Structure 1
């Protein structure tokens, strides 16, 4: 994507944002979907946690597959195949949602795992396309913004839609949107040619010492474990302080809008030309992690005002800090393999955390959940900072941040 017209570059950025939002819709709208599953289908907290663990396990499968597929196959072909799988999986889910037997429930979980894997693959291609865009920093900023806007819209409109048509409306709507997005496939990057792929595969083999690789993986894995459990059960946290499902959905939408502000601020700050990139990244990481931990501590206070402040601060800090985490973790990426690994680790964290969080919530301890997730985020932050100390500043750090 290095030699394209300005208009094509803009269209490409829009496509990246759209695919990023749709591919991560389940995560972004998890609070209202989880609440609706519990109220409409009378699912237990453990069942809801397992449902979203299957959703997020798709990130792991897509990450593993992406490490092999992205350097070798046409990315456009991968996108088209993934959209077909997502559409079929969502339509099957609509038919199975209201079946009561354990057999149908297990089949639903399997179908969701399949659809989520294909959806996550679309996110990987969008993220890799942003990384290879001529204006990578701006493209990556729009990648995050696309997710945030999807969250704002979904959290605002899904609760009233659920009241009239139930949880099935989510899967029907997302299916239609994926079909429309299919027409934008050609605007994404198509990957490497065979000669570039061979050279890049050789370059990536053996790169990285074990210690920084372990730090990189811990930073991403623990970060998403710390996020997912809280976001999935943030609706339950609101109910604890007397906020209804409908008003909670509105509040979650406001929080998601604060995420838009956070990601926009990250894109602006990361693209500034004053001072070394490494110093700007370090400052942003300190501010972002401090805000995240402070927000979770606020959520431990069982008061409405503390919940509102904590939730909005949590979403703002989440979207502000994540581009800088990725910029630090993905310094050495050459052909999309590390991007795929990041998605694999994110998926592992997203898959494991809701199930564990469901067990903690079922035991009746939301405060313990918050404290446990806070510890994970502290460990993630320490991993990032040790990674920065270990690695020398390099041009790779500007992959996502430079305009």
Structure 2
């Protein structure tokens, strides 16, 4: 409905955290920013071929991008409270556009790393803002589900389409697509408030401080870190586990491609369910299923067992994450805790492969890695259940989706 400001008719209320425009900002900004990292296998192969990069150089390049997106959480704690959000988002979006266009024409490795770091720092700032805004919505489970689903869909489309153009246009086509997509979505900044409004439209129950907030927040962040360390260690070496089980590369590639689709389905499931029957139950079921999927990889799984494990693993990964994020935002509706969650996610993504590689080398196989990942998931489950706020998100299940996007 039209709103009125100082007697003037305006088409939307930019201060409404549940408006359609606000949800669109959260979903589309995040999807564009994360797209390259979600199509990293294809982009990494093209970079190695086109720029003659070694595996370690390629890994360092993507580590710089991921590290910049994580580091963006730290200054965001300051600028989100001090400056106009629309202005800052426009600045970061413009840097993201210029950085990607410039990346398409850079042939020097050192220069490319520096430009990609700055570009990802701007993109990470937008990602942190989106995560903070999602924490201020009524139905956080569903919004985080949409937030994740948008990223997965953009990443899947990028993986399916862009590599077909690499032979003609090189890796530059990927950078140009990112720049153009940001140009398209950047006008959505008009749906942002000029200043960060901490859950101004949330119910009175959300304004009550969470008992033992510091302890619960710490446990929640550790749970998120353990979750990402466990899953990224396994995901990185799924191909190696398939090879050790005498499953050929072509077969394992098909299985992992199907698993990516199941990942989208997992986020859709979380979006549809919301907080029904309850966040605790959904977390419990999701974690137990994910732990089972990792355990199925033990020994020498055949094609059938490996397929079941990979599909279940990817589905539960994206099913659990929205509830993890909703738990953290339920502890702090201002979004500040969710900013720190971005650090935990990036740290987990970096530590998982680092830990996994050393465990595989020291054990001469994947058994120890699988056991450690199972233990990490169990630890994460226990911690996130303990961290649950006393007023769980179940109370939000009575809020219709139409209210979220009115």
What secondary structure, in the 3-state scheme, does the structure 2 residue paired with 1:24 have? helix
Rounded Cα–Cα distance in structure 1 between residues aligned with 2:302 and 2:57: 28
1:318 deviation in Å?
0.9
Higher normalized contact order (CA 8 Å, seq sep 6+, divided by chain length)? 1
Structure 2 partner of 1:288: 286
Aligned residues: 377
What secondary structure, in the 3-state scheme, does the structure 2 residue paired with 1:95 have? coil
Rounded Cα–Cα distance in structure 2 between residues aligned with 1:207 and 1:74: 32
Query: Would you say 1:181 and 2:177 are equivalent positions?
Result: no
What secondary structure, in the 3-state scheme, does the structure 2 residue paired with 1:339 have? helix
Task: State the Cα deviation string for residues 128-151 of structure 1 (Å, max 9, x = none).
Answer: 233334554443332122122123
Rounded Cα–Cα distance in structure 2 between residues aligned with 1:75 and 1:357: 39
Q: 1:172 aligns with which of 162, 176, 186?
A: 176
Contact 1:90 1:171 survives alignment (8 Å): yes
Rounded Cα–Cα distance in structure 1 between residues aligned with 2:289 and 2:337: 27
Structure 2 partner of 1:243: 249
Unaligned runs of 5+ in 2: 4-11, 201-206, 401-406
1:64 deviation in Å?
0.9
What secondary structure, in the 3-state scheme, does the structure 1 residue paired with 2:308 have? helix
Rounded Cα–Cα distance in structure 2 between residues aligned with 1:56 and 1:204: 35
Rounded Cα–Cα distance in structure 2 between residues aligned with 1:249 and 1:167: 22
What secondary structure, in the 3-state scheme, does the structure 1 residue paired with 2:331 have? coil
Task: State the Cα deviation string for residues 67-110 of structure 1 (Å, max 9, x = none).
Answer: 222222222222211112222332343334x44xxxx33x4333
Rounded Cα–Cα distance in structure 2 between residues aligned with 1:287 and 1:82: 39
Task: State the Cα deviation string for residues 298-357 of structure 1 (Å, max 9, x = none).
Answer: 445454444433332222101111111122222222322112111122122223334455
Rounded Cα–Cα distance in structure 2 between residues aligned with 1:151 and 1:75: 27
Rounded Cα–Cα distance in structure 1 between residues aligned with 2:396 and 2:51: 45
Structure 1 partner of 2:344: 345
Structure 1 partner of 2:9: none
Written as runs of structure 1 = structure 2, the 5 A alignment for 1:266-277 is 266-272=270-276
Rounded Cα–Cα distance in structure 1 between residues aligned with 2:366 and 2:45: 15
Task: State the Cα deviation string for residues 47-82 of structure 1 (Å, max 9, x = none).
Answer: 443333222212321111222222222222222111
Rounded Cα–Cα distance in structure 1 between residues aligned with 2:279 and 2:349: 25
Rounded Cα–Cα distance in structure 2 between residues aligned with 1:311 and 1:401: 34
User: Is 257-266 or 349-358 further displaced after alignment?
Assistant: 349-358
TM-score (norm 2): 0.78
Rg larger in structure = 2
Written as runs of structure 1 = structure 2, the 5 A alignment for 1:78-93 is 78-93=88-103
Structure 2 partner of 1:108: 112
CA 1:210–1:125 in 2, change beyond 3 Å: closer, same or farther? closer
Query: Would you say 1:25 and 2:35 are equivalent positions?
Result: yes
Written as runs of structure 1 = structure 2, the 5 A alignment for 1:4-403 is 9-37=19-47, 43-96=53-106, 98-99=107-108, 104-105=109-110, 107-133=111-137, 136-192=140-196, 208-232=212-236, 234=238, 241-244=247-250, 251-272=255-276, 280-300=278-298, 301=300, 303-357=302-356, 369-388=369-388, 391=389, 393-394=390-391, 403=400
Unaligned runs of 5+ in 1: 197-202
TM-score (norm 1): 0.78
1:381 deviation in Å?
2.0
User: Is 182-191 or 30-39 further displaced after alignment?
Assistant: 30-39
The CA RMSD measured in Å over matched residues stands at: 3.6
